[in-house]
Each structure stands twice: as C-alpha cells, then as structure tokens.
Amino acid sequence: MNRKQFRRRTGIYPETFAEMEAVLNECEGRKKKSGRPAALSVAEQLLTLEFWREYRTFAHLGDDWGVHETTVHPPVERVEAALISSAQFQMPKKRVFQEAQLVYSIVAVDASEVPCERPKKSNAAGTAARKSGIP
C-alpha cells in the first residue's frame, strides 16, 4: 500500500504510524510479562484506532481482525493511554475565538398601534339633506 492509500485507510502517514508503533513497543517493553500473550500484535493494536477514526463498533473491529469484540476493547484503551502519556501525539487544541471587533448598538423602536387620524367627512349635501328632512 502506498503512502496516500495508507493515509486514506488509517488517517495517519506511515512515518507517524512508525513513531506510534515505537512508543507502543517501548510501553510493552516496560510492562511486566505475565499472563496470556496479546491476541493482537502491536501494529494491529495500533490499527484498532480505526475505532476513533471511523466510529466503528468493537464488534466490527473484532470481525475484521478475527477476534471477539471484548478482545478489541482493552487494546484500544491501552493504545490511547500510551499515546497520550507519551505527549508526542496530541489532538489539536480548542481554538480560542478572537473577540469581535464589531461593536453592536441596540436601537429601540416604539411600534405601538395608534389609531389613524382621518379627516371628518364633510359632505355638504348630506348635511343639507338631513336638515330638510329628506331621507
């Protein structure tokens, strides 16, 4: 798999993967070797980070690697803890937004309802007709 394909598949470049693998190998070397050996190699354990990249379930990862989903969960936690404790690999920090340079002003407008002022009807003919008694 070439560099671009590797990056597309895993989310990291092969060089970064090699650095992460070295950190994990160092952590494995410091660990007391007792009990059953790991079902997944260090490189395979590192690839379980697909869990975070693709939001896949442990069941899907287990199916891909040929192990049970409960076998996938501990390596994911171990890999995360090892990479975080090494301080070489960190996620980008939250960005602090600059304070707005624009100053907003608020203008209050009174929009209450006021009856329309209309001129009175001045129908001279209607007034004259009422006075004369014509309906």
Q: Tens-digit pLDDT profile for the chain (135 aa)?
A: 788 888 887 777 888 888 888 888 888 878 777 777 777 778 877 777 777 777 778 888 888 878 888 887 887 888 888 888 887 876 666 666 666 677 777 888 777 777 777 778 776 655 555 555 555
Q: Examine residue 56 and state whether it is found in any structural domain, yes or no.
A: yes
Instruction: Outline where 31-99 has alpha helix (H).
Output: 42-47, 50-54, 58-65, 69-86
* Domain limits for position 44: 3-32+40-86
Q: Examine residue 20 and state whether it is found in any structural domain, yes or no.
A: yes
Give the total number of structural domains in the chain: 1
Q: Which residues contact 74 (CB under 8 A, 6 or more apart)?
A: none
Q: Examine residue 67 and state whether it is found in any structural domain, yes or no.
A: yes
Angle at 60 between CA 56 and CA 61, to 5 degrees: 85
In Å, the largest CA–CA distance within the chain is 123
